Amino acid sequence: MQLGSVEKDGRRRPIPIKGSEFVIELDTLISAISEQPDISFLPEKHDFNISGWNTFEVDRESLATNVPGVFAGGDAIRGPSSVIEAMADGKRVAATISRYLKNEPFEYEYEVTRPSVYVEPVKLTVEETLESTRQETKRLKPAVRRKSNDEVDLGLSKSTAIKEAKRCLRCDLEVKDEDEKEQ
């Protein structure tokens, strides 16, 4: 697609680029665009267990369907969901398929991970804590937005990013205790 000329509403409409189409040979393609799964490709009489929401029923640990050797994840098992969950499912399915192909038992291990580098906790004074407010991101002015497809949210400057980072509770980070730091 390419952007066409500016129309009455101030926006440029996408126009197809002739000759830009291409074909990728596949055995099966299951589209996952955070909508209800389309399982119409399955024959009328198939062996899969399908939920009332038109999703594949799977083992929650291995993401294996009831058909041996067939695994599923993302929208195909959850319906509309987040890309993060779909990516996590893909990672889990890849590990499961690897073990399946090697005839190894599937055992998913849940473990707490720590950062590889010690990160000193941020220490704030009471005043800094009380004064810390959410930092506003810079945004493209509305007059400019109407006539472009440029990114609207321009992010934070270095100083405001540091202020915003100090507000973080660091839920994703486990730091070593003072006595562990020596090891």
Q: How many residues does the chain have?
A: 183
Lowest mean pLDDT among 15-29, 70-84, 116-130, 169-183: 169-183
* Position with higher pLDDT, 17 vs 118: 17
3-state secondary structure at position 97: helix
Residues 6 or more apart whose CB falls under 8 angstroms from that of 152 comprise: 139, 140, 145
What is the reported pLDDT for 72?
94
Kindly report the average pLDDT of the chain as a whole number: 82
Lowest mean pLDDT among 10-24, 86-100, 101-115, 145-159: 101-115
How far is it, in rounded angstroms, from Cα 56 to Cα 76? 6
Confidence band, pLDDT 50/70/90 cuts, at residue 64: very high
164: closest CA among 127, 115, 108, 122? Answer: 122
Confidence band, pLDDT 50/70/90 cuts, at residue 108: confident
How far is it, in rounded angstroms, from Cα 96 to Cα 78? 18
56-80 exposure pattern, b = at least 16 Cβ within 10 A, e = fewer: bebeeebbbbeeeeebbbbbbbbee
